[in-house]
Chain A
Amino acid sequence: MKLTTIAAALGAAALFAAPAAQAWEPTKPVEFVVPAGTGGGADQMARFIQGIVTKHKLMKQPIVVVNKSGGAGAEGFLEVKGSAGNPHKIIITLSNLFTTPLATAVPFNWRDLTPVAMLALDEFVLWVNAESPHKTAKDYVSAIKMGADNRYKMAGTGSKQEDQIITVMIEKATAKKITYVPFKGGGDVAVQLVGKHVDSTVNNPIEAEAHWRSGKLRALCVMDANPLPYKAKVTATQSWADIPTCKSAGIDAEYLMLRGIFMTPNATPEQVAYYVDLFKKLRELPEWKEFMEKGAFNQTFMTGKEYADWVAKAEAQHVALMKSAGFLAK
């Protein structure tokens, strides 16, 4: 008897709780912070989201993209960290969520923010110029091994960030120094390779896709555990799926970049649930699927504890990588 009342009470509670969990909704425009400059990968994704959310009327309030790129993104993260209790502010991340506080000792950590959802993971591909004599990743690796230190030049985005971390991984695999030249944005990096000013890059797929398709660049290998799933031909002969993994070529480098969403500190579960629901709806849209395929993204989606655990693991990985590369702030 007692048991049934409890059950009934629980059922009733659940019944009331369920709509209550959905009850929160933004009451004013939502600020979407991008901790990077205009035109980069995170900015493109944020503006794309803004565009399709507006087009499909997924939100009653407008969503406004704001770039806060100062101090390698520290400006954006500090702003969100400092807006505790304001549910009308979300931020999209790139690897600088981990690398910036580690390299510059600016005081913020992902634990200061409220995790919402992982939208996707961005892949990294090792590229050379199409006229380069290195046809495969193995060719290139053995050329680096045979050459003198600093003989080969890698262009990348920023310093002590993802591109340089991957370069260090390749240095470890080849036991040779590689000259790393930092540029401001991924687009510049790809063009430097097309103009043959450097030997290779580790551009994200979306940054180099157009040059690859027009036959200016050659994709050597992808920094993931498995080849990419996209089988549609991009160049005359190759699809994203045809690019071998770097592991198979003897470069023990696996690296994925988080494209995730965080909220301000002290967000309530109802507020988080609202945004999770929003991004779930977003993922079902055909425009989003097309965008994911174009950029050859890894489409893993995570929320809640699973997401927080993933971020914690990624953080530990970055601490280890940056420590061994000597990139930690003194």
Chain B
Amino acid sequence: MDELNSLMQGFAVAMTLPNLGFMLLGLLLGILIGVLPGLGGANGVAILLPLTFSMNPTSAIIMLSCIYWGALFGGAITSILFNIPGEPWSVATTFDGFPLAQQGRAAEALTAAFTSSFVGAFFAVLAITFLAPLLARFALQFGPPEFFAVQMLTFCSFIGMSKDPPMKTLAAMMLGFALAAVGMDTVTGQLRMTFGFTEMLKGFDFLIAVIGLFGIGEILLTMEEGLAFKGKSAKINFRIVWQTWKELLQYWRTFIRSVLIGCWMGITPGGATPASFMGYGMARRAAKDKESFGRGNIEGVVAPETAAHAAGTSALLPMLTLGIPGSPTAAVLLGGLLIWGLQPGPLLFVEQKDFVWGLIASMYLGNLVGLFVVLTTVPWWAAILRIPFPVIAPVIIFICAIGAYTVHSSIFDVIMMLVFGVLGYLFKKLRYPMAPLVLALVLGDMAESSFRQSMLLSQGAVNIFYSNWLVGGLMALSIFLLLLPAWGGMKNMLRRREARAYLG
């Protein structure tokens, strides 16, 4: 029970008045950062990092990690209300969150999202508290083939579930891969598909594509359909929080599944974005009424949010124990550690006990306080939907433009956002699914690098993908998931044929 003693000591460090103040300040800033699309946790933490250099490291990391929690909470708000994911890992939240808001159930969706965030983060912190050394060792097992297997698993858990025509799904995914390939190719060090434009050097940022496809695309569509938000009848009162909580209890299986997926993806470190997609995909597969997903199913909000937050939180573990950041925000925090004179790595838990346990205690407190803060604001957020569309639409476009600009401080990105907006509108009109495109754009680059690194390591031999139990197991699982719907389809076809033969 060494951990418990240390944790109690950590609470003593985190519970001092100034630290609690920094915690609240960090959370509020974080929520604000999360709400503004494009600004994102990583940028927000990077901007505020210098302010903390004169603080003591423990207070500084408590405030910065609370900004991170706040941003994780805040990312869900715009996804649900306006179909604009504030962070890449909120994309999957829009699939069911936005339809819910359109049905006037925004408050329910927000409550579900915030609660799921809390549950995901809470269990991930528990895992960090008691399993840190064990989990850190597991992360070391991951070389390029294992990473590729995880990415493959994400694709496969998502791909089979699509209810759209397979050819359209494939076309959207291929477009995503093509966009992901633009820019520098890390493996050969050559530029690809930039066609001599220096603006294309940096490739297509995922965030800009998402802000355009989802946010601007949605606004174009609403304009055509009559300048009104469908969700304006949103009920606004606190009782909804309690009612939603009661309803959430029946999704305990989804919570457990998503927590496991999330913790695992955060530690390995696959990251929060693939975790959210995988969580969503798995929930849909396990559900009895698959058809209701994508049309406003609370479970479709719970699954990705829980997974994303479990991953986002457990991503801090490899950072603390190994010095590898599991997310971009973790990377910036890592820089902060060095500036405060702390060396992240296997010795941090031994040499800087106060700091580490103070941080872990602040994770518990920060999430609890954060949940309280965001839940009390649910009615106000939902009330935004009552503002007339002609007033709010320009504001949204303005915020989107600022968001797109902030990613790389480049005007070209704002233009690209508008182009993606038109593309998003066309996709909707022609009934092409956007999720496969987004998934390919965010994972395509990583999957390609891991695959080619594996091929370099094995000198071109494919057997590297079943050379040990870990990678072999992951690959087998992903192929199983890929073939599952095909198997179901085949069974149906056989049954139909049998029936026809019987009738004939």
Q: Which A residues form the contact surface with B (CB < 8 A)?
A: 37-39, 43-44, 47-48, 50-52, 54-55, 65-66, 68-72, 74-75, 78, 103-104, 106, 150, 153, 158-161, 164, 179-184, 187-188, 190-192, 194-195, 197-198, 206, 209-211, 213-214, 216, 290, 294, 327, 329
Contact = CB atoms under 8 A, between A and B. Distances in A.
16 contacts: A38-B46, A39-B331, A44-B339, A50-B50, A68-B408, A70-B183, A74-B201, A75-B198, A164-B189, A182-B453, A187-B334, A209-B343, A211-B345, A214-B346, A294-B343, A329-B190
B453 A183 contact: yes
B457 A153 contact: yes
Contacts of A72: 184, 189
A70 B410 CA distance: 12
Nearest to A39: B331
A210 B323 contact: yes
B456 A181 contact: yes
A160 B190 CA distance: 9
A162 B60 CA distance: 35
Contact of A70 (B54, B144, B408): B408
A39 B202 contact: no
Given A159-B187, A210-B323, A44 B335 contact: yes
Given A39-B334, A179-B457, A290-B341, A191 B323 contact: yes
B324 interface: yes
A188 B139 CA distance: 12
Given A48-B339, A55-B54, A106-B191, 6 more contacts: A48-B338, A72-B189, A179-B459, A195-B141, A211-B323, A290-B341
Nearest to B190: A104
B459 A54 contact: no
Interface in B323-379: 323-325, 328, 331-332, 334-336, 338-339, 341, 343-348
Nearest to A157: B186
Contacts of B494: none
B148 to A, nearest CB: 12
Nearest to A209: B343
Interface of B: 42, 46, 49-50, 53-54, 140-144, 183-191, 194, 198, 201-203, 322-325, 328, 331-332, 334-336, 338-339, 341, 343-348, 408-409, 449, 453, 456-457, 459
Most chain B CB atoms below 10 A, which of A51, A192, A294? A51
Nearest to A153: B457
B456 A179 contact: yes
A219 B337 CA distance: 24
Contact of B183 (A71, A78, A191): A71
A38 B343 contact: no
Contacts of A216: 346
Contact of A75 (B46, B186, B202): B202
Contacts of A180: 456
Nearest to A188: B324
Contacts of A159: 185-190
Given A39-B325, A54-B53, A210 B345 contact: yes
Given A159-B188, A188-B324, A210-B347, A74 B140 contact: no
A160 B189 contact: yes
A194 B318 CA distance: 13
A161 B186 CA distance: 10
B153 to A, nearest CB: 19
Contacts of B188: 159-160
A51 B339 contact: yes
Given A48-B338, A51-B339, A150-B459, A39 B332 contact: yes
B87 to A, nearest CB: 16
Contacts of B456: 179-181
Contacts of B189: 72, 103-104, 158-161, 164, 182, 327
Contacts of B332: 38-39
Contacts of B198: 71, 74-75, 78, 106
Contacts of B186: 158-159, 182-184
B324 A181 contact: no
Contacts of B140: 191, 194-195
A66 B409 contact: yes
Contacts of B323: 187, 190-191, 210-211
Nearest to B329: A38
Contacts of A197: 143-144, 457
B54 A71 contact: no
Nearest to A290: B341
A290 B348 CA distance: 18
Contacts of B409: 66
A124 B49 CA distance: 28
Contact of B142 (A38, A48, A150, A195): A195
A210 B203 contact: no
B13 to A, nearest CB: 23
Nearest to A179: B456
Most chain B CB atoms below 10 A, which of A184, A190, A192, A327? A192
A223 B46 CA distance: 33
A181 B143 CA distance: 11
A195 B453 CA distance: 15
Contact of B50 (A47, A70, A213): A47
Contact of B331 (A38, A65, A71, A206): A38
Most chain A CB atoms below 10 A, which of B42, B140, B198? B198
A74 B201 CA distance: 8
Nearest to A47: B335
Ordered nearest first, which 7 A-B pairs have the shortest CB separation?
A70-B202, A210-B345, A159-B189, A71-B201, A197-B143, A39-B331, A160-B189
